């Protein structure tokens, strides 16, 4: 099957070829012909399957005929986070390069005036987070009567973030006769309910079993055993994380925390220890979030400590590691977090730090995946690497120390010039990370510095840059399979959009 077989126009085929894609992925093969036919779609697909192109490509084709009227977008794409919305907008740039389509990115955290200006001129595609879209509508700057295609992307994430009432309101403002595409990584009951309400005789597509982790991610679990008390545990985890980074060839990594506050604390701690680190979470100004993401994607920042804002859908090529500083409380988030690595056919490594308190969350993750996360013995691993580690076993001391120049590890490239550092990265170091015992300083000094190496020994070209087609993208879609996932309680609304 080729892209030409899917019925896409010449200009799109050229753009796809320029992007380096030769073969459609499973979801593209299954969805594109039906979208072109005007059918509604209910797709159960995770990020990394090529799902974005499965709706952007046919939309560009459909939009090629016709023109937008002032303030009346012709199509609407709803995304749960600003980062995802920006990523979809980039996809329209890439695939729409030979078309003259206008688009507006309507997300929170940035000036409304500029967005209003673009909407006023008329746009073919409006890519929005729900909150900001409603703001524009309520101010009277947006008319939704002309929307012919609606895409609700990452619907389960919308649910988690408390956006469903906003989504329902937006849909009530759209024409009844329209084409609707709903995509979700998982299909909890609440999303099925929405699908029944919003979609008409949809083509159901499922491209991978829900909530299964990619096969090319090596997963590891480290159990931290330490004294009682939140701060003691946090310190032990920070210590373990640094030991891990001494052992692992970390080129770049996302480090997930459950709470925004902990994101800031950990980022500051790592920075103190000379790691080239920034923080990313929903309470940061949008301009800082965007700049930080850019710096991370451009390799100017090696470690990004983040909340789940960054967990879903972000496409960062060649990410060598993901560290879960906290075990997520929703099992699906585990899969989404680790899924940021091992993308585009490369091998990735994921480490989860767990404590006794996480037992029940771990159990539900392992139940959901139907497999146990392999236990990783940090002390055994240390014996087999060239980086000696002070710890005797996984029980780590409640103390930390900053490294000297000679002890710096691959990701500790603090001296590298950086653009776009987050505000938090420049704030003074928290006191809790400054108490360093002399013995440990000695131990840290003894460690040899390692050169940064690529995440994988596989030198084959990566997706988007050449002709390599990873096997996991070629999996056959199970066209009618439905997901069977337990619904999860709607979380409190997060202020990310
Ligand atoms: P997504 O699931 O939309 O986040 O896409 C995951 C990655 O796959 C992105 O980096 C896309 O650029 C890439 N991709 C999408 N379609 C194809 C294709 N047909 N062949 C190779 N790579 C693709």
User: Would you call 19 exposed, middle or buried from its count of C-beta atoms within 10 A (0-12, 13-18, 19+)?
Assistant: middle
Out of 68-77, 191-200, 223-232, least confident range: 223-232
Rounded to whole angstroms, the Cα distance separating 489 from 471 reads: 35
Task: Kindly state if the Cβ of 463 falls inside 6 Å of ligand 1.
Answer: yes
Burial annotation 388-414 (CB, 10 A radius, 16+ → b, else e): ebbeeebebebebbbbeeebbbbbbbb
Residue whose tokens read 């604390």: 265
Q: Given the DSSP bridges, would you call strands 217-223 and 303-306 parallel, antiparallel or unpaired? A: unpaired
Using alpha carbons, select from 350, 321, 347, 339 the residue that is nearest to residue 457.
347
pLDDT the model gives residue 169: 97
- Asked if 125 and 280 touch (Cβ cutoff 8 Å), the reply is no
485 contacts: CB under 8 Å, gap ≥ 6:
186, 187, 188, 210, 211, 332
Regarding the beta carbon of 8 and ligand 1, being less than 6 Å apart is answered no
Check if the beta carbon of residue 72 is closer than 8 Å to that of residue 143.
yes
Phi, psi of 44 (to 5 degrees): -100, 100
Extract the runs of DSSP E, i.e. beta strands, from 86-154: 103-106, 125-128, 149-152
Asked whether 472 and 216 are in contact (CB, 8 A), the reply is yes
The domain 217-401 is classified under which CATH number: 1.20.140.10, 3.40.190.10, 3.90.850.10, 3.40.50.300? 3.40.50.300
pLDDT at 197 over 50: yes
User: Is the pLDDT at 257 greater than 90, yes or no?
Assistant: yes
Q: Which of 20, 27, 28, 463 for mutating ligand 1's site (highest number of atoms within 8 Å of CB)?
A: 463
Q: Which of 268, 292, 297 is nearest to 433 (CA)?
A: 268
Q: Which residue minimizes the CA distance to atom 18 of ligand 1?
A: 21
CB 166 within 8 A of CB 135: no
CA distance 227 to 395: 10
Mean pLDDT, residues 459-482 = 38
**Is the distance from the beta carbon of residue 312 to the nearest atom of ligand 1 less than 6 Å?**
no
Chain centroid, CA 211 distance in Å: 14
Quick: pLDDT tens for 332-355: 789 888 988 886 667 899 999 999
Q: Where are the domains of the chain?
A: 3-206, 217-401
The DSSP call for residue 277 is E
Strands of 75-78's sheet, edge to edge?
Answer: 103-106, 125-128, 75-78, 149-152, 179-184, 41-44, 203-206
Name the strand (E) or helix (H) holding 155: helix 155-160
pLDDT average, residue stretch 442-457 = 32
Strands 75-78, 217-223: pairing kind: unpaired
Three-class SS state of 76? strand
What class has domain 3-206? Answer: alpha beta
Position 227 scores a pLDDT of: 66
Residue 417 has pLDDT above 70, yes or no: no
> Which run of H or E residues covers position 181?
strand 179-184
Assess whether the C-beta atom of 48 lies below 6 angstroms from ligand 1: yes
Q: How confident is the model at residue 371 (pLDDT cuts 50, 70, 90)?
A: confident
Rounded distance from Cα 21 to ligand 1 centre (Å): 8
By CB atoms closer than 10 A (0-12, 13-18, 19+), residue 69 is: middle
Can you name the residues that pair with 295 across neighbouring β-strands? none
Dump pLDDT digits (tens) for 170-180: 999 999 999 99
pLDDT exceeds 70 at position 391: no
**Ligand 1 contact, 424 CB (< 6 A):** no
The 8-class DSSP code of residue 222 comes to E
- Alpha-carbon span 15 to 336, nearest angstrom: 29
- Please report, rounded to a whole number, the percentage of residues in the chain having pLDDT higher than 70: 73
Q: How far apart are CA 79 and CA 153, in angstroms?
A: 6
Q: Establish whether domains 3-206 and 217-401 are of one fold.
A: yes
The CB of 80 under 6 Å from ligand 1? The reply is no
The span from the CA of 320 to the CA of 338, in Å, is 11
**Considering only CA atoms, which of 315, 345, 333, 380 is closest in space to residue 52?**
315
pLDDT for the residue numbered 375: 92
Pairwise CA distance, residues 70 & 77, whole Å: 18
Beta strand extents in 232-381 (DSSP E only): 253-256, 277-280, 303-306, 321-324, 348-354
78 lines ligand 1 (CB under 6 A): no
In the chain, % of residues over pLDDT 90: 53
What is the per-residue pLDDT across 72-128, written as a single tens digit (0 to 9) for each? 999 999 999 998 999 999 999 999 999 999 999 999 988 999 999 999 999 999 999
* C-alpha span between 298 and 292 (Å, rounded): 10
Contacts of residue 395, Cβ cutoff 8 Å, sequence gap at least 6: 224, 225, 226
Per-residue confidence (pLDDT) for residue 333, from 0 to 100:
85
Identify the band that residue 1 occupies on the pLDDT scale cut at 50, 70 and 90: confident
Please give the pLDDT value at position 344.
61
Measured in Å, residue 486 CA sits from the centre of ligand 1 at 28
Taking CB atoms within 8 Å and a gap of at least 24, the contacts of 59-63 are 59/35, 59/125, 59/149, 59/151, 60/12, 60/92, 60/95, 60/96, 60/99, 60/101, 61/8, 61/9, 61/12, 61/36, 62/35, 62/36, 62/148, 62/149, 63/99, 63/101, 63/124, 63/125
Distance 350 CA to ligand 1 centre (A): 21
**Pocket test residue of 43, 46, 53 for ligand 1, highest count of atoms within 8 A of CB:** 53
């Amino acid at each position: 099957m080729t892209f030409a077989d899917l019925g896409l126009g010449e200009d799109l085929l050229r753009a796809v070829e320029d992007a380096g894609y030769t073969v459609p992925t499973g979801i593209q093969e299954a969805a594109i012909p039906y979208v072109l036919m005007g059918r509604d779609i209910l797709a159960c697909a995770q990020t990394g399957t090529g799902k974005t192109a499965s709706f952007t490509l046919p939309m560009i084709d459909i939009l090629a005929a016709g023109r937008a009227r002032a303030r009346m977008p012709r199509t609407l794409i709803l995304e749960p986070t600003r980062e995802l919305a920006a990523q979809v907008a980039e996809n329209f740039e890439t695939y729409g390069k030979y078309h003259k389509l206008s688009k507006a990115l309507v997300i929170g955290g940035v000036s409304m005036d500029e967005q209003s200006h673009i909407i006023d001129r008329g746009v073919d595609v409006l890519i929005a987070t729900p909150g900001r879209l409603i703001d524009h509508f309520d101010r009277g700057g947006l008319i939704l009567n002309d929307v012919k295609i609606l895409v609700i992307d990452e619907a389960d994430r919308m649910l988690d973030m408390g956006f469903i009432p906003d989504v329902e309101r937006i849909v009530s403002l759209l024409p009844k006769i329209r084409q609707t595409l709903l995509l979700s990584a998982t299909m909890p009951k609440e999303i099925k309910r929405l699908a029944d309400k919003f979609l008409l005789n949809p083509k159901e597509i499922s491209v991978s079993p829900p909530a299964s982790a990619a096969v090319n991610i090596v997963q590891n679990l480290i159990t931290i055993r330490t004294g009682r008390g939140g701060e003691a545990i946090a310190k032990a985890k920070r210590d373990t994380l640094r030991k891990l980074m001494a052992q692992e060839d970390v080129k770049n990594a996302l480090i997930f925390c459950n709470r925004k506050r902990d994101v800031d604390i950990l980022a500051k701690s790592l920075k103190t220890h000379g790691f080239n680190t920034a923080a990313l979470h929903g309470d940061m100004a949008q301009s800082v979030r965007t700049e930080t993401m850019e710096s991370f994607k451009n390799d100017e920042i090696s470690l990004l400590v983040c909340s789940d804002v960054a967990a879903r859908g972000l496409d960062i090529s060649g990410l060598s590691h993901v560290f879960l500083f906290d075990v997520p409380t929703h099992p699906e988030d585990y899969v989404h977090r680790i899924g940021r690595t091992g993308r585009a056919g490369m091998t990735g490594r994921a480490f989860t730090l767990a404590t006794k308190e996480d037992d029940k969350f771990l159990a539900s993750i392992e139940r959901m995946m139907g497999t146990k996360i392999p236990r990783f013995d940090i002390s055994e691993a240390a014996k087999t690497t060239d980086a000696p580690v002070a710890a005797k076993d996984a029980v780590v001391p409640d103390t930390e120390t900053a490294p000297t120049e000679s002890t710096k590890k691959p990701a500790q490239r603090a001296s590298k010039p950086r653009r776009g550092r987050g505000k938090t990265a420049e704030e003074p170091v928290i006191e809790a990370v400054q108490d360093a015992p002399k013995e440990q300083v000695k131990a840290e000094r003894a460690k040899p510095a390692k050169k940064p190496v690529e995440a994988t020994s596989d030198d084959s070209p990566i997706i988007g840059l050449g002709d390599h087609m990873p096997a996991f993208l070629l999996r056959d879609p199970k066209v009618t399979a439905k997901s069977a996932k337990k619904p999860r309680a709607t979380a409190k609304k997060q202020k990310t959009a």
